[in-house]
Structure 1
């Protein structure tokens, strides 16, 4: 279940209440007349099943509540209510399959902002990965992949393509390109400093590295893994199972590839550098392709499921799960 808190202008309150009441899967409707001060108006609260939330949010935006008032959405971790149970049963589909597009867009917007924090995390992750590739240490590689924040903008590109939002796509692509460029330049400087301190040596890149040589020797499996990771990552975002993102992060070699390219550039090992860049691009492309296709499939399947339920004999606007 999700909890909605809305601030509505007085002349819009009845419309909002009607929309809430008319949406299958809502309950616990509360109206506080004149309670809001900034902006002034009424406060409307309700709980809604996750699988019915996107429909309600679309309708609320259609009446411009997001412009004239406000809409806030929170996850409900625990709800002990028979009415809530009934609302979830009446809502179409299953909660795990529902995509709340406004929530997805907002999440990817926040994670794809080109901020100092984003650049710092990506640069630090790439530096950790540089230590891992030079020392042929798989533990450092895994740690670096878990730290990297690049999946946010990647998911943002996927969402932007499906929702046809060019501004969001441009913002996410800028975050990716500028982020990796800054991280690789910083890591090149870091590797030269480490070389001056005697911690890195050119021959470290030439010696056999069985644990990390795959990073600059891409093959078909690199693209296959990226495709699978893109599917898993998007599903984890749309189903609110964020724990799966850790597994996605450590299954693709975007950050280690950028790190190996940066170190190889510093030592003039251009063959390794281009191989690493190819690995990086393969991973980025694979995630974006499969992530976009996954969102398109979810959108199509959800629409098909809702239409089938509505066509069932005796079904209301949205049929229950039974």
Structure 2
């Protein structure tokens, strides 16, 4: 269940109540007249089944509450209520499968910011991957996969393409390009210093059977990228995120960046070209799979999602009082 709090101008409160009370998946409706001070207005709070969130939020946004009021949504971890159980039963599908598009937009926007923490995590992941390549140690490659934050911008690109968010799309592309460029540059500089100190040599990239796959892109690389894109999007939309999902996603990106970074100072130019191709192929596969996955989810929820049927004004006002007393 979700907890929704709406601050509504007084002249639109009745419309808000009509929308909320017209949805069988909304319960525990409370109206507090004149309680909001900034912005000024009435406060309406209610619990909402996750599966019905898109329909209700779209109706509320059509009232212009973004400009003159506010809409906030948070997850309810525990709800002990028979009415809440009935509300979830009235909504189609399963809560864990429901995609709340506004929630997804907020999440991918936050994950796409080109922050110092993003650059730091990606640089650290690339350096760990580079060490794993040099030592031919898959366990270090897995560690780099867990640390890599790069799927956030990839998901934002998928969302931006599907929803026509051009500003988000350009920001995500810039974050991805700048992030990988910075991570590879930092790691290559560290590798160059290590070569000057005699810690690493070109021969270390000649025979590494455990991590050689990183520089050999083929059709399986693209298939893995497609599967990783689907898994990543589902982990974001269905709340199934876990470290193992992160590993699966990063297997196609961070190791290739680490291989590029060490191959440059060691003058293994063939490795550089092959790893760049691997990185490009896998990013393309994830983006394609992510867009298709989001499109399928959007079509399914548009067809099977719960519709809101506003109730008459008098019933809305009476219903809000009775529900608020329960």
Q: Deviations over 1:285-313 (max 9, x none)?
A: 0100001001111111222324xx88xxx
Aligned residue in 2 for 1:223 = 222
CA RMSD of aligned residues (A): 1.7
Is residue 2:9 matched to residue 1:9?
yes
CA shift in 2, pair 1:317/1:62, >3 Å: closer
The answer to whether the 8 A contact 1:146-1:249 is kept is no
Aligned residue in 2 for 1:235 = 234
Aligned residue in 2 for 1:291 = 290
Aligned residue in 1 for 2:321 = none
Q: Secondary structure at the match of 2:73?
A: strand
Aligned residue in 2 for 1:212 = 211
Cα shift at 1:74: 0.8
Q: Deviations over 1:207-243 (max 9, x none)?
A: x111110001111111101101111111111111122
Is residue 2:180 matched to residue 1:171?
no
Name the stretch that deviates more: 137-146 or 294-303.
294-303
Aligned residue in 1 for 2:32 = 32
Aligned residue in 2 for 1:106 = 106
Counting only pairs closer than 5 Å after superposition, residues 175-214 of structure 1 correspond to structure 2 as: 175-206=175-206, 208-214=207-213
Q: Distance in 1 between matches of 2:157 and 2:24?
A: 32
Counting only pairs closer than 5 Å after superposition, residues 25-64 of structure 1 correspond to structure 2 as: 25-64=25-64
Is residue 2:258 matched to residue 1:259?
yes
Q: Secondary structure at the match of 1:23?
A: coil
Gaps in structure 2 of 5+ consecutive residues: 311-326
The answer to whether the 8 A contact 2:232-2:246 is kept is no
The answer to whether the 8 A contact 1:187-1:262 is kept is yes
Aligned residue in 2 for 1:151 = 151
Counting only pairs closer than 5 Å after superposition, residues 75-154 of structure 1 correspond to structure 2 as: 75-154=75-154
Q: Deviations over 1:7-65 (max 9, x none)?
A: 22222222212211112310011122222222222221111001100111111111111
The answer to whether the 8 A contact 1:97-1:302 is kept is no
TM-score of the two chains, using structure 2 as the length reference: 0.90
Q: Distance in 2 between matches of 1:66 and 1:304?
A: 26
Cα shift at 1:245: 3.4
Q: Deviations over 1:164-215 (max 9, x none)?
A: 1111111111111111111111111111122233332221112x11111000
Aligned residue in 2 for 1:305 = 304
Could you say which structure has the greater relative contact order, defined with CA pairs below 8 angstroms and 6 or more residues apart? 2
Paired residue total: 309
Name the stretch that deviates more: 188-197 or 105-114.
188-197
Q: Deviations over 1:234-281 (max 9, x none)?
A: 11111111226324335x220110110111111221100010111111
Name the stretch that deviates more: 195-204 or 84-93.
195-204
Q: Deviations over 1:90-124 (max 9, x none)?
A: 11333233211111111000001111111111111
Q: Secondary structure at the match of 1:266?
A: coil
Aligned residue in 2 for 1:313 = none
Gaps in structure 1 of 5+ consecutive residues: 311-315
User: Which runs of at least 4 in structure 1 moved beyond 6 Å after TM superposition?
Assistant: none
Cα shift at 1:317: 5.1
